[in-house]
Structure 1
């Protein structure tokens, strides 16, 4: 190996800098850069790499667009996801709205501008946070598999803060109205599925997917869960017998989510958007905490991966923040807050 046979860095008429170097014989590299500094670094890299590894060659610039990278993501990682088809469709539509840019040229600024337009069009912050998470995860997977050699352009983009949604739950009177309506409906499965959801805190799809072999030993065993973790939740002997008898007479449950939504409406229950079938899960959790249940036990019952999600129900526990009454200003300045005759009589006695 000899010294550098050719080393030429020159500025072109358009202001760019051209590198034409031959670190060792028959190993010649040419490339154009915007700045002289980039050109010098490239020339130095070529010289050092070729001396260390004569067969080394600079990797050509990755010109693949996001849709092509999405295909690679699907092959390397996405096809192992349970919701792959839905996720892939959502991401493809997002990339098409972005104009299918070249991956290495995509920037945080471009996504921020795209997000601003979507928000102005009425798209929710939650949806935009989901899109950010999906696209950022795509780049992370490709980096982990060394499919791309540039940093994640969305690494510095933060999700937007969201207002916590009200978690609606039903009191005893509302539950009586709802189940009276469910029992009056001409459908063989909907009332029992609702009962299972209320008794165990499971998701509607988990109850609807039960089979006889998963109802045994005084418990229902949920296998196909959102978290991919199986859960076994105790039930009463009466409910276990009722479920097994139902399966023997009527077969497996069928999809009747729409019937439940209709029953909620007919019972006159007003619930936040998207919480109709989930209201039974919220009701179980809310009553569990109000009756003195343990927050860590509730986490395992609901199948939450993190207790942070379960903490949404902590405020319903007896004694939650009761120190407000004990140590807050109402203790020393009751006349500001309580003008009842009884309070006035007690104040006069103290005086």
Structure 2
């Protein structure tokens, strides 16, 4: 049974199994929350699962984060990194009792982050992490209350300028990599990224067993799905010889690449240094008449929407603007 209390809150008063069984009472601010809790309690009884945490859940946010990590987070590809970030967020919140968190608690936290010049995308990522934790814990019955942040909207982000390099800029950066970079791997990782459209991390994590004549297979991808990309015979031989000699590309090549870009004097759009070669591959592919669906497969985008950012560079797209201009004789 659900009834409205004089205080305005909604109380669930249910006795799963009927008379003689344990009675459960819990109050909520909103009727839909009370209804969801009642359905959840009854479903737990029907499945023979004891209802946990019927008393007030006094666990701290850090405790819930640990429960989430051990049960779910550690199996994610970026789970350890995400868990570290979530623990830092819990400290910033003051590690409150998790069940007492409200949407306003996060909005205050986010406002402070914005004042610290934290990027809106980072703020949105943080909101996504918290939502994932509370949604998963509620889904598995670890908590009985709803995600306190589910109604918060992410910050709307204006689409960033998509930069790419022209041929002269490419030569200038690669000249710096060849002549002044001491890192033995940076030049080849940059070349792989430029010639296959790989993310820097994908190119850097390439291993000999993922190299075949004449293609590379990326398995450490953002989507978690493998993809293969054809390569030239020359690039195949160069990668094979390098990996046979060194074993791997190491993990600090991006710093060497950034220094090469700085030395070249080329100004890149903010935050795009690590992706500039990937953007350059995609942009020149489309400007040369490449097919947008082929590009989607090469880049490993899960949907065509991401790939469509490059569609405006297609010569067919540009030519159609003038060919389909119906107003030339009118103006």
TM-score (norm 1): 0.76
Shift of 1:198: 0.9
Alignment of 1:41-190 (within 5 A): 59-185=54-180, 186-190=182-186
Distance 2:74 2:23 in 1: 39
- Residue 225 (1) aligns with residue 221 (2): yes
Shift of 1:311: 1.6
Q: SS where residue 220 of structure 1 aligns?
A: strand
Shift of 1:250: 4.5
Q: SS where residue 223 of structure 2 aligns?
A: coil
Judged with a 3 Å threshold, the aligned counterparts in structure 2 of structure 1 residues 67 and 235 are, in CA distance, closer, same or farther, namely: same
Judged with a 3 Å threshold, the aligned counterparts in structure 2 of structure 1 residues 29 and 140 are, in CA distance, closer, same or farther, namely: closer
Larger Rg: 1
State the Cα deviation string for residues 159-201 of structure 1 (Å, max 9, x = none).
1110111121111111111122211124432222211111101
Distance 1:24 1:135 in 2: 40
- Whether the aligned pair in 1 keeps the contact of 2:178 and 2:187 (CA below 8 Å) is yes
- Residue 264 (1) aligns with residue 261 (2): yes
State the Cα deviation string for residues 122-165 of structure 1 (Å, max 9, x = none).
22211211111111111110011111111222222111110111
Distance 1:143 1:32 in 2: 16
Shift of 1:212: 2.2
Q: Which moved more, 1:63-72 or 1:169-178?
A: 63-72
State the Cα deviation string for residues 245-297 of structure 1 (Å, max 9, x = none).
23344543233222111111111211123222311111001111111112221
Corresponding residue number in structure 1 for 2:12: none
- Residue 192 (1) aligns with residue 182 (2): no
Across the aligned residues of Structure 1 and Structure 2, the Cα RMSD in angstroms comes to: 3.7
Shift of 1:329: 5.4
Corresponding residue number in structure 2 for 1:242: 238
2:325 to 311, 321, 327: 327
Judged with a 3 Å threshold, the aligned counterparts in structure 2 of structure 1 residues 291 and 136 are, in CA distance, closer, same or farther, namely: same
Instruction: Work out the number of aligned pairs and report it.
Output: 310
Structure 2: state its 5+ residue gaps. Answer: 10-14
Shift of 1:34: 10
